[in-house]
Amino acid sequence: MPPSDPGSGAGTGERDDDVAQLLPDIAALAAGLDAVDYLTDLGLATALFLAVRLRQPLLLEGEPGVGKTAAAQALARLLQTPLFRLQCYEGIDAAEALYEWDHPRQLLAVRLAEARHAEVAEADLYGPQYLLRRPLLAAIAHPGPRPAVLLLDEIDRADAEFEAFTFQALAEAAVSIPELGTVRATHPPVVVLTSNRTRDLHDALTRRCLYHWIDHPAPERVAEIVRRRVPGSDEPLVHDATAAIGRLRALDLVKPPGIAEAIDWVTALSLLGVRRLDPAAVAATWGAVLKNRDDLDVAADRGAAWLAGAGRG
């Protein structure tokens, strides 16, 4: 990977035209996401459209399980471009985001050279073939023709220092590698950040981002998503399960079930041959929808019959 020309911007105009032709307006983006099985509303579609067309990072917040990560994944499918995902956590460092040198391969190269009585220059050991690209560098170095999608998942779990470092690299769309030079993006990635609000993000970050809050969708929308993700599931079961998810979310739970749990539950029930939710089916599959011991106790106190919708017409 040779150092890029700091002033290089070749292809950017063509890239913009290509993306603009693919996504001329918000309706086209929403229809495109629908085609890749991601259902969105006008607010989220607008935020994603602006992130792509303005090349401005998009910060998505919302409860776990409302589809923040899936939005970035669907956007990559729509753009037919790679998705590079960096899962953030407490203590994550720059190497995890940018690059590392493949030390085992470097050591092997030295030993092979020694066996051949040859010399290895230090510069030979720090070539592109020994560079392990992590998500941020991979997204910046992506050659196109369309920009990659870079997902910084749960950025709120990272330290504030890492948050600042990452965003500075993205703002410059360039990474400096001492042994190789500067890698500057010719196709700056579309950046989506997600946060579960475990801490407040720095003002410098939020000011530079577009922002959108994703609410948990209404039961009708959840049912529509489940139908897409669990094809062949019985309609009464989908209706019953999504209604039950709504009942659970009304309880005071530590981890209220989200869309992913609804999909998992209907998938499990369908596999078991259940066509309509009943107390026995609920009692057998608590673990597919509730993932916390205290939540299991709370729901069990209300009873499997209540969750199954006892008394429904």
Q: Which two tokens stand for residue 163?
A: 């948050």
Q: Tell me the per-residue pLDDT of 125-137, one tens digit each, with 9 for 90 and over.
A: 888 888 999 999 9
- For residues 303 and 164, state if they share a domain: no
- Asked whether residue 111 is domain-assigned, the answer is no
Query: What's the whole-number mean pLDDT along residues 234-262?
Result: 93
Query: What's the whole-number mean pLDDT along residues 201-227?
Result: 90
214, 241, 262 — which closes off a domain? 214
CATH label of the domain that carries residue 43: 3.40.50.300
- For residues 80 and 161, state if they share a domain: yes
Instruction: State the residue for tokens 């890239």.
Output: 15
- For residues 230 and 268, state if they share a domain: yes
Q: By CB neighbour count within 10 A (0-12 exposed, 13-18 middle, 19+ buried), where does 122 fall?
A: exposed
214, 235, 261 — which closes off a domain? 214
Residue 2 has pLDDT above 70, yes or no: no
Find out whether 195 and 156 touch, Cβ atoms under 8 Å.
yes
- Asked whether residue 61 is domain-assigned, the answer is yes
Q: How confident is the model at residue 6 (pLDDT cuts 50, 70, 90)?
A: very low
Number of domains in the chain: 2
Query: What's the whole-number mean pLDDT along residues 259-271?
Result: 94
Instruction: State the residue for tokens 């003002």.
Output: 203
- Asked whether residue 196 is domain-assigned, the answer is yes
Q: Tell me the per-residue pLDDT of 12-24, one tens digit each, with 9 for 90 and over.
A: 555 578 899 999 9
- Asked whether residue 75 is domain-assigned, the answer is yes
Residue 234 has pLDDT above 50, yes or no: yes
| pLDDT attached to residue 189 | 94
Percent of the chain with pLDDT over 90: 60
User: What string of DSSP letters covers 88-152?
Assistant: --TT--HHHHSEEE-HHHHHHHHHHHHHTT----HHHHTSGGGEEE-HHHHHHH---SSPPEEEE
Find out whether 56 and 170 touch, Cβ atoms under 8 Å.
no
Query: What's the whole-number mean pLDDT along residues 72-81?
Result: 97
CA 146 – CA 140 distance, rounded (Å): 12
- Asked whether residue 195 is domain-assigned, the answer is yes
Q: Tell me the per-residue pLDDT of 266-285, one tens digit each, with 9 for 90 and over.
A: 999 999 999 999 999 999 99
- For residues 166 and 278, state if they share a domain: no
- Asked whether residue 113 is domain-assigned, the answer is no
- For residues 298 and 195, state if they share a domain: no
- For residues 50 and 184, state if they share a domain: yes
Which run of H or of E encompasses 12? Answer: helix 12-22
Residue 5 has pLDDT above 70, yes or no: no
Instruction: State the residue for tokens 């002033």.
Output: 7
- For residues 181 and 32, state if they share a domain: yes
- Asked whether residue 107 is domain-assigned, the answer is no
Q: By CB neighbour count within 10 A (0-12 exposed, 13-18 middle, 19+ buried), where does 91 fall?
A: exposed
Query: What's the whole-number mean pLDDT along residues 77-102?
Result: 92
Residue 3 has pLDDT above 70, yes or no: no
- For residues 192 and 234, state if they share a domain: no
Instruction: State the residue for tokens 């040779």.
Output: 2
Query: What's the whole-number mean pLDDT along residues 84-88?
Result: 95
Average pLDDT, whole number, for the chain? 89
Q: Which two tokens stand for residue 114?
A: 């020694």
- For residues 245 and 285, state if they share a domain: yes
CA 155 – CA 139 distance, rounded (Å): 17
- Backbone dihedral angles phi then psi of residue 174, each to the nearest 5 degrees: -155, 150
| pLDDT attached to residue 124 | 81
- For residues 164 and 71, state if they share a domain: yes
| pLDDT attached to residue 9 | 41
3-state class (DSSP) for residue 311: coil
165, 185, 214 — which closes off a domain? 214
User: What string of DSSP letters covers 13-64?
Assistant: HHHHHHHHHH-SSHHHHHHHHHHTT----HHHHHHHHHHHHHT--EEEEEST
Structural domain harbouring 302:
219-308
- For residues 260 and 174, state if they share a domain: no
When comparing pLDDT for 172 and 16, which is higher? 172
Query: What's the whole-number mean pLDDT along residues 36-54?
Result: 95
Q: By CB neighbour count within 10 A (0-12 exposed, 13-18 middle, 19+ buried), where does 71 fall?
A: buried
CA 13 – CA 10 distance, rounded (Å): 8
| pLDDT attached to residue 115 | 87
| pLDDT attached to residue 179 | 85
- Asked whether residue 127 is domain-assigned, the answer is no
Find out whether 97 and 133 touch, Cβ atoms under 8 Å.
no
CA 266 – CA 245 distance, rounded (Å): 11
- For residues 204 and 249, state if they share a domain: no
| pLDDT attached to residue 178 | 86
